[in-house]
């Protein structure tokens, strides 16, 4: 399933209702915010093969080799309550972690608030940004990056102990090195995301948090032996 044409078979109600595909952008979040301000429909998606100024939390750069990752941003128009501001990052991480578990059987876990990891190595991250359109209606853009077909050789030496990809993790699990279909993975993420986002819109916060806790990465307690 090619990433440029997968929208034709997308089985979602509104996520992916409009899809923009770019070979290169500065940031998919920046484009999605601009589309949202101009009135783009909820579920509008921006996809890029490469970002020159991709970013994560606190303005950290997100580096990704061209054509080997998922770099995606989605316009969502639910008006977040004050106690829901933290939830978009969680539902994004949940969708990615569950899609990977279901399709590839890999033990994904969520390191709060927005990292998806496999064996303590980061495979994906989520960045949510709030904005207002020309009618002063609030919306948010949920952006995410997933390392899909990055190989160990693609990773800088300083990241090889802290980052991974689906291709690397699958090879570890099954002793093979097979390319992962990005379109198939993205379809699975969109289905999971739409389901969890509808829970957010329905105010089912406890359900979302229970799902998150089931996948939360457990951090070992450090014992002070002094």
pLDDT tens digits along 3-32: 777 777 888 999 999 999 999 999 999 999
Yes or no: is domain 13-215 CATH 3.40.710.10? Answer: no
User: To the nearest whole number, what is the mean pLDDT of the chain?
Assistant: 89
pLDDT at 226: 44
pLDDT at 209 over 50: yes
pLDDT at 70 over 90: yes
Domain boundaries, the chain: 13-215
Report residue 188's pLDDT band, with 50, 70 and 90 as the boundaries: very high
194 contacts: CB under 8 Å, gap ≥ 6: 12, 13, 14, 15
Question: Could you write out the DSSP letters of every residue in 127-155?
Answer: EEEEEE-TT--EEEEEEEEEE-S--GGGS
Of 92, 77, 9, 70, whose CA–CA distance to 44 is shortest?
A: 77
Report residue 58's pLDDT band, with 50, 70 and 90 as the boundaries: very low
Q: Give me 166's structure tokens.
A: 């689906």
pTM for the model: 0.91
pLDDT at 168 over 80: yes
pLDDT at 118: 97
Name the residue with higher pLDDT: 220 or 162: 162
């Amino acid at each position: 399933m090619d990433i440029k044409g997968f929208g034709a078979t997308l089985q979602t109600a509104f996520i992916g209702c409009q899809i923009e595909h770019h070979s290169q952008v500065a940031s998919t979040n920046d484009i999605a915010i601009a589309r949202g301000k101009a009135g783009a429909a909820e579920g509008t998606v921006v996809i890029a093969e490469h970002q020159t100024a991709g970013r994560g939390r606190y303005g950290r750069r997100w580096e990704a080799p061209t054509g080997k990752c998922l770099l995606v941003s989605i316009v969502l128009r639910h008006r977040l309550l004050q106690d829901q501001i933290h939830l978009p990052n969680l539902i994004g991480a949940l969708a990615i972690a569950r899609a990977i578990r279901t399709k590839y059987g890999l033990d994904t876990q969520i390191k709060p608030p927005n990292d998806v990891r496999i064996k303590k190595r980061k495979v994906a991250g989520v960045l949510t940004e709030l904005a207002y359109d020309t009618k002063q209606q609030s919306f948010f853009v949920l952006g995410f990056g997933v390392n899909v077909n990055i190989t160990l050789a693609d990773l800088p030496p300083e990241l090889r102990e802290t980052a991974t990809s689906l291709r690397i993790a699958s090879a570890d699990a099954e002793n093979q090195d097979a390319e992962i279909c990005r379109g198939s993975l993205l379809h699975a993420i969109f289905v999971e995301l739409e389901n969890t986002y509808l829970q957010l819109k329905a105010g089912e916060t406890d359900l979302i948090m229970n799902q998150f806790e089931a996948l939360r990465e457990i951090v070992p307690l450090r014992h002070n032996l002094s």
